[in-house]
């Protein structure tokens, strides 16, 4: 059995966050262990509030899990503050496996989830960061996606995938300095959870594949999950 460590917030509606990450990892043959960084109050249409978990408790969860499990991959999502980021950063140094960071700054329905300074602390500790285009521009100064991906790599030291929802289905990858694109069919709609599904699938595939192959497989996985999506009110929940 392969194990993945999921570090993210709880979306009680089940469309994103740790619940989505767990569904993806199980579909790809992994046993998921999860550390919840924050409890959110949200549904398909609104984020009402976010409640960070005590950083000490998060550290205790790391200690308990790492004493028993040998992880093949790590996925990091919502990091609500710098205090939690410092705890996560210290424990990431102990893990020798692919680590994927999805810097979730805002919920798809609006409202702050993660903190920029927290992700800036974590990016040098991970293998790949997967911001969308809007998120990527908050960490860099370039407008051109290829230049922006390379800028983030130079600034933070991790490979970067700028995911393609805003780029008409084109993912822009900076793989340790080499920049290229991966394209797939783009299905339009108001989707919930695509970023979580993509980054978790990428983490799973990186356990056994180089980044370019993992990016292509993760993009196909998201496409198939979108095709199986179901509607909740005005949004479509992707379905791994």
CB-CB contact of 97 with 73 (8 Å):
yes
Token reading at 124: 């040098």
CA 124 to each of CA 67, 72, 93: distance values in angstroms, whole numbers, following the listed order: 24, 19, 10
Find the radius of gyration of the CA atoms of the chain. 16
Question: Which pLDDT tens digit goes with each residue over 39-74?
Answer: 999 998 899 999 999 999 999 999 999 999 999 999
Q: What is the pLDDT of residue 20?
A: 96
pTM of the model: 0.96
**CATH T-level topology, domain 2-237:** 3.40.1190
pLDDT tier at 192 (50, 70, 90 boundaries)? confident
Ordered by start, the domain boundaries in the chain are: 2-237
Kindly report, residue by residue over 96-130, the tens digit of the pLDDT.
999 999 999 988 778 999 999 999 999 999 999 99
- pLDDT for residue 24 is more than 90: yes
Tens-digit pLDDT profile for residues 131-166? 999 999 999 999 999 999 999 999 999 999 999 778
């Amino acid at each position: 059995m392969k194990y993945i460590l999921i570090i993210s917030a709880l979306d009680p509606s089940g469309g994103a966050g740790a619940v989505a990450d767990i569904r993806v990892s199980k579909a790809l043959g992994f046993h998921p262990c999860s550390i919840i960084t924050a409890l959110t109050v949200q549904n398909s249409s609104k984020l009402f509030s976010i409640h960070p978990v005590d950083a000490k408790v998060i550290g205790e969860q790391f200690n308990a899990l790492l004493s028993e499990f040998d992880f093949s991959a790590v996925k990091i999502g919502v990091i609500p503050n710098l205090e939690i980021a410092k705890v996560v950063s210290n424990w990431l140094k102990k893990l020798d496996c692919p680590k994927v960071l999805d810097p979730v700054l805002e919920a798809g329905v609006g409202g702050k989830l993660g903190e920029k300074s927290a992700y800036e602390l974590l990016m040098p500790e991970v293998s790949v960061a997967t911001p969308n285009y809007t998120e990527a521009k908050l960490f860099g100064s370039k407008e051109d996606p290829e230049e922006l991906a390379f800028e983030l790599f130079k600034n933070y030291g991790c490979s970067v995938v700028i995911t393609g929802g805003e780029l008409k289905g084109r993912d822009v990858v900076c793989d340790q300095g080499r920049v290229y694109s991966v394209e797939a069919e783009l299905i339009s709609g108001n989707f919930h959870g695509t970023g979580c599904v993509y980054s978790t699938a990428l983490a799973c595939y990186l356990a056994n594949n180089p980044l370019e192959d993992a990016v292509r497989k993760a993009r196909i996985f998201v496409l198939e999950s979108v095709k199986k999506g179901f509607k909740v009110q005005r949004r479509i929940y992707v379905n791994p």
